[in-house]
Amino acid sequence: MQISAAVLRRPDGAYSLETVELVDPGPGQVVVRIEAVGHCHTDLLPRAGVLPIPMPMIAGHEGAGVVAAVGPGVASVAPGDHVVLSFASCGACAACVAGHPASCDLFAPLNLIAAPIDGVATVTDASGTAVAARWFGQSSFATHALATERNVVKIDDDLPLELMAPLGCGLQTGAGTVINVLRPQPGESIAVFGSGAVGSAAIMAAAAAGCTTIVAVDLHRRRLDLALELGATHVVDGAAPDVAAQVIASTGRGVLHAVDTTGVGSVVATALESLSVRGTLALVGVSQPDLLVPGSALAMGKAVVGVIEGDADPKTFIPLLTRLWRRGKFPIEKLVQTFPLAEIDTAERAAAAGEVVKPVLLPG
Ligand SMILES: [Zn+2]
Ligand SMILES: [Zn+2]
C-alpha cells in the first residue's frame, strides 16, 4: 500500500515527506495506521552516524494508532484495535522468557539497525530504492507502520492516542526505572538529573510511588517549573556550583535513589555524590561515556545500575501507566505539544532547545 513517511536521506539533512510503498504484513506482523508518534531523544541517533543504519531510513519509535491489517498467525490484536507501539524483542531468549524483554539478546539488531532482518525491503521509495523501516520494530514517523505482534500493546479505545504515544519509549523508560528498578517506598527520597521527558516520567512515577522528597536538577528554568507541577518538592539549577550540596541538603543526608537521564560524566559524578548511605543511582540511556568513579564514591553501600527501557515489559507496563494516567497520577498532558508530521524538523529543534518536553507528531 502507499503511505506517507518522513524519510531521512542524510544524517545531517532535513526530513522529506514522501509517498512510499509498504508491503503487506507477513506472519506475525501488524500494520498500524499511526495517529500520533512521539519524538524521542533516541530518534537523533541515526543522525549521529554511530550506528550502522543505512540511508534512506524512517525513524520514529513512539507510535500509537489503530490496527489496519494483521498477517497470518496474529491472534492477540485485530483490525480496529487501538495500540501503542513499543520496542521489539525476540520472545525466545532467556531475558524475554524471564519477563525482561528490554534485555533481549537481539535488542540491538531488532531495534537499532533498521535495515530488514532478512534483506528484503519492507518499504521502497518512488524510485524503487529500499528504505530502512524497522527502527525499534516500527519506523513510525509515517501514516502507517509495519510492526510485530510482540511490540504492539492494546489499549482502551477511549484513551487519547496523542497522549499515549510517548508511553512506548521515553515515558516507559523514566517511569520503569523508578517503579521496576529503584522501587522507592513511600516516604523515601529521590533526585532526578535532567528533567526532560524521561526525567519528567521518573518524577511522576516517584510521586505516584509516594516519595516525599523529589529533587529535580536541570539547566532549563521552564523544565524545573514543570517538575514542580509534576510532583517535585525541590528544584536545583544544574549550573549551580554546589548541586550535590543542594541535593544532600534536601534531606540533610543525601537521597536514597537517583536517576541520571543526561549521560554526561560530570553529572553522573554529581549524582553519585548526592546519594545517601546505601543509595542507588540508575543510569538511563543507550550510551554512556566512560565514567570515572572514585572508589570512595561507592563507599557505604552505594550502587550504580544501568537500565534499558525502564526494564519494562511493555505488554503489562504500558497498560499500568494508562491506569495511572486515568487516576491523574501520570499527567502526560503537561509534557506534550503536538505538531503536524510535516513540521518534524521544527519539533526536533524545539525539543533539542528545551522549549518542548515531548513533541508528538500527527501524521493525519
Ligand atoms: Zn529476546
Ligand atoms: Zn526512545
CA of 107 to the centre of ligand 1 (A): 7
* DSSP assigned state of 132: B
What pLDDT shows up at residue 286?
54
Residue 102, domain member (yes or no): yes
- Is the residue at 61 inside a domain? yes
| Gap from CA of 94 to ligand 1 centroid (Å) | 7
Q: Are residues 259 and 351 in the same domain?
A: no
Q: What is the pLDDT of residue 354?
A: 84
Q: Would 324 be classed as within a structural domain?
A: no
Q: Can you tell me the distance from the alpha carbon of 171 to that of 221, in angstroms, rounded to the nearest whole number?
A: 21
Report the CATH number that the domain containing residue 276 is assigned in CATH.
Answer: 3.40.50.720
Q: Any idea which ligand is nearest the CA of 198?
A: 2
Same domain, yes or no, for 148 and 53?
yes
State whether 274 and 200 are in the same domain: yes
**Whether residue 191 sits in one domain with residue 108:** no
Is residue 326 situated within a structural domain? no
pLDDT attached to residue 211: 98
Strands (E), the chain: 2-8, 15-22, 29-38, 63-70, 82-85, 123-124, 130-131, 144-148, 152-154, 189-193, 213-218, 234-237, 255-260, 275-284, 303-307, 336-340, 358-362
Q: What is the Å distance from ligand 2's center to 361 Cα?
A: 14
Task: Print the domain residue range for 239.
Answer: 173-308
Number of domains in the chain: 2
Do 119 and 212 have their domain in common?
no
What is the distance in A from the centroid of ligand 2 to the CA of 330? 18
Ligand 2 centroid–CA 252 distance in Å is 35
Residue with cell 512506548: 168
Q: Are residues 160 and 17 in the same domain?
A: yes
Q: Please check whether residues 24 and 154 belong to one and the same domain.
A: yes
**Based on the domain organization, do 185 and 164 belong to the same domain?**
no
Question: Is 313 contained in some domain?
Answer: no
d(CA 110, ligand 1 centre) in Å:
9
* Per-residue pLDDT, 118: 82
Closest listed ligand to the CA of 197: 2
pLDDT along the chain (364 residues), means of 10: 97 95 97 97 87 92 98 97 98 97 95 85 95 96 98 98 97 98 98 96 98 97 96 98 97 97 91 95 77 80 93 98 98 97 95 92 94
The pLDDT, as a whole number, for residue 231 is 97
